Chains A and B, each alone.
Chain A
């Protein structure tokens, strides 16, 4: 089955700097890769996703890139702000009904 690895586990940046989180997946059949932001005590919130027919997608300060050949995808956050501080999870669809396989998460801290 699908396996998703995520790095780094923790990331600390200064406000205004960029943050990059990387994930790899194992199943070449996966074709949907969402990113979720989870704040303390809350459920995962979908922030951006990418499908395998595109290589890059951008939404304001966040962007995601996908390299199907290498089976890796990355989240880029530019001009980070303290409210970006949270745990970020990458995921890939792993089953016939779309169940998601998650990475272990990255705790992002943005220091003012």
Chain B
């Protein structure tokens, strides 16, 4: 059964450093998402991506964040200058269609900012 994969599983970085989180969505899916989950809290939407551009983003997704689909299979989230409060689990999700279609989540990347 196809699944969303994410690397790395755990990333530790120093405050102010740049990090890139990587995702490989399910191959025939067209809509891609990033969510984050601070420890013990709910999952929060960051950004959606379709047709090689951002479709929608939340207030969390400020200028420090960017997304890219560099090669037709990977989908990346970059945080330019990490802050302590960026420490969280980051989940990638993909969907075949969009608005009312199932979203499948990857296993997540745990980001720890020291």
Q: B45 touching A104 by the CB < 8 A rule?
A: no
Residues of chain A lying within 8 A (CB to CB) of residue B106: 43
Q: How far is the CA of A32 from the CA of B102 in the complex (A)?
A: 9
Q: B100 touching A31 by the CB < 8 A rule?
A: yes
Chain A interface category by residue count: 20 to 34
Known: A46-B105, A100-B43. 6 other contacts (CB 8 A): A43-B91, A94-B45, A96-B55, A97-B55, A99-B58, A102-B42
Q: Evaluate whether A97 and B50 lie within 8 angstroms (CB atoms) in the complex, with A44-B43, A103-B42 already known.
A: yes
Q: A98 touching B41 by the CB < 8 A rule?
A: no
Q: A93 touching B100 by the CB < 8 A rule?
A: yes
Q: A98 touching B31 by the CB < 8 A rule?
A: yes
Residues of chain A lying within 8 A (CB to CB) of residue B105: 36, 43-46
Q: List 9 A-B contacts (CB under 8 A).
A: A31-B100, A45-B105, A94-B45, A95-B45, A97-B55, A98-B98, A99-B45, A99-B58, A102-B43
Residues of A within 8 A of B (CB): 31-32, 34, 36, 42-46, 49, 51, 89, 91, 93-105
Q: How far is the CA of A45 from the CA of B42 in the complex (A)?
A: 14
B interface residues, how many (CB within 8 angstroms): 28
In residues 4-62 of chain B, which contact A (Cβ within 8 Å)?
Answer: 4, 31, 33, 35, 41-45, 48, 50, 55-56, 58
Residue of A nearest to B34 (CB): A99
Residues of chain B lying within 8 A (CB to CB) of residue A93: 99-100
Residues of chain B lying within 8 A (CB to CB) of residue A36: 43, 105
CB distance from A9 to the nearest CB of B (A): 11
Q: A34 touching B43 by the CB < 8 A rule?
A: no
Q: How far is the CA of A93 from the CA of B98 in the complex (A)?
A: 10
Q: B91 touching A97 by the CB < 8 A rule?
A: no
Residues of chain B lying within 8 A (CB to CB) of residue A99: 33, 45, 48, 56, 58
CB distance from B104 to the nearest CB of A (A): 6
